[in-house]
Structure 1
Amino acid sequence: MNHIDLELERLKSKLMDMWDLVEYQLQSGHEAMLKADHELAAKVVKLGRKVNNYDVKIDSMCENLLALYTPVAVDLRLILATLKINANLERIGDTAEGISMFVQQQERPFLPELLEKTNTYAMFTEAIAMFADCRKAYKASNTELARTVIKRDKMLNKIYRKSDDVVAAYLQIYPESIKECLALLSIIKKVERVGDQITNIAEEIIFYRDAKVVKHKSKKKKKANGNDNSENA
């Protein structure tokens, strides 16, 4: 194995370490939301500094590789994809922190009925599963799995689009729950954003392995069919 290959393996290993940390943040944010666990939520927020350190380190490693080795072909695509994956992982970590901050403001767990009606539990669980599968796709260079992850984001978008109406109907019956409902709507929006960021990562995996750019393809198809709903990519 030559020197650049060794450095690329170091880069991928560092990215996996960051991925594990962000996955822990996401899973713990979910658990903290369900239990209104302020201590766990605070831990998620505190880990943000460590994620930021990984972000800076990985960017620096990529810059050094570009400067020292002038990589081409798949090696270049790996470094470019890593830069974007790194940025999206950092944003997912920020989103998990944001969710945990809302949890810290809650005096009690969210009502199970409200979580069920808004499909928040199913949405959050699916986002975590997508994140885990995206990691598998990266480690195994499995672009087919990456493509399935992209398709699964539709479920999250669908739940998000319906959430305002569902909460509005709930508040007509339980108007005293307005604070709880507003916090939950904010969390739902953040989970929807996680889905977008996971999609971005899956697109970079496909770019790295297959040399194909797939981002914005769904928007182009909708416009061609005259059905552009302006969903987040």
Structure 2
Amino acid sequence: MKVIDQEIRSLKNNVSEMWSLVRQQLFNAGEAMLSGDKELAYKVISRERRVNAFELKIDSDCEDIIALYAPVAIDLRFVLAMYKINTNLERLGDFAESIARFAGNLPEGEPVDPDLIKETRVQIMLDELLEMLSLAQEAFEKEDSEIASRIFLKDNLVDEINVASTKIIANYIETHPGSALIGLYMAGVIRKMERFGDHCTNIAEELIFYLDAKVMKHIGKADPKA
């Protein structure tokens, strides 16, 4: 095996490990938010340092491969894609930490109202985001752009929930003035989750660029095969 092939395999393993960590961070942050589990929220916050460490390591690996081995064709596309995916994964880790901080700041003994969770469909939104991350990782590990393309359509539902949530939360605050702060926090969390979905679509675009040499930017999520 050529040295560059070994370096690329090592890079792929590191990205895959970071991917799994970020998905677990989102899962734990969501559980902490929905249940009011502060201990789990603090665990997410403390593990954010590991995500940041991965980002620095992967950035350095990408730069070294380009500088030392001058990759071409699909190897070059792979390294460039991993560099950008790494940035998106780090941002996803930041969003997971923000959701965990929301959970950690909830008043003691006052978890989010289950009715608000149901009406905003935030549980569905969270499940969709976790599925988007899983699909992206599956597409990455199987090198399958068709799997990656499914992410675009899933993000449409995330956007729909985000848009609908504004009126729902406004009505909730009007009828539950004592819970106005939680309502406002929830609005912020949903907005962060919508941005989470956007970063997942960015990752899908980079995977398709790497696998198919096809630039997806500005094509539009509703028609990923255009």
Residue 78 of structure 2 corresponds to 78
Q: Within the alignment, does 1:179 sit opposite 2:184 as a pair?
A: no
Contact 2:119 2:168 survives alignment (8 Å): yes
List aligned pairs for 1:27-176, cutoff 5 A: 27-107=27-107, 108-176=110-178
Ranges in structure 2 where 5+ consecutive residues have no aligned partner: none
SS at match of 1:17: helix
Contact 2:44 2:97 survives alignment (8 Å): yes
Paired with 1:71 and 1:59, the residues of 2 have a C-alpha distance of: 16
Alpha-carbon distance, 1:130 to partner: 0.8
Alpha-carbon distance, 1:2 to partner: 1.3
Alpha-carbon distance, 1:219 to partner: 7.8
Paired with 2:100 and 2:222, the residues of 1 have a C-alpha distance of: 35
Paired with 1:54 and 1:120, the residues of 2 have a C-alpha distance of: 29
Q: Within the alignment, does 1:15 sit opposite 2:22 as a pair?
A: no
**Deviations 1:161-212 (CA, angstroms, capped at 9, x unpaired):** 1111111122222222101101111110111011001000011000000000
CA RMSD across the alignment: 1.3
Contact 2:151 2:204 survives alignment (8 Å): yes
Percent identity, aligned pairs only, is 43
**Deviations 1:100-142 (CA, angstroms, capped at 9, x unpaired):** 1111111222111101111111111111111111100110011
Alpha-carbon distance, 1:35 to partner: 1.0
SS at match of 1:218: coil
Alpha-carbon distance, 1:50 to partner: 1.0
1:12 is matched by which residue type in structure 2?
Answer: K
Alpha-carbon distance, 1:9 to partner: 0.2
2:121 is matched by which residue type in structure 1?
Answer: N
Paired with 1:187 and 1:8, the residues of 2 have a C-alpha distance of: 36
Paired with 1:166 and 1:181, the residues of 2 have a C-alpha distance of: 10
Alpha-carbon distance, 1:27 to partner: 0.5
Contact 2:15 2:58 survives alignment (8 Å): yes
Paired with 1:23 and 1:103, the residues of 2 have a C-alpha distance of: 17
1:165 is matched by which residue type in structure 2?
Answer: K
Alpha-carbon distance, 1:23 to partner: 0.9
Which portions of structure 1, spanning 4 or more consecutive aligned residues, are displaced by more than 4 angstroms?
none
Paired with 1:189 and 1:36, the residues of 2 have a C-alpha distance of: 19
In the superposition, the TM-score normalised over structure 1's length comes to 0.92
SS at match of 1:195: helix
Ranges in structure 1 where 5+ consecutive residues have no aligned partner: 222-233
Alpha-carbon distance, 1:89 to partner: 0.4
Residue 208 of structure 1 corresponds to 210
Alpha-carbon distance, 1:20 to partner: 1.1
Residue 225 of structure 1 corresponds to none
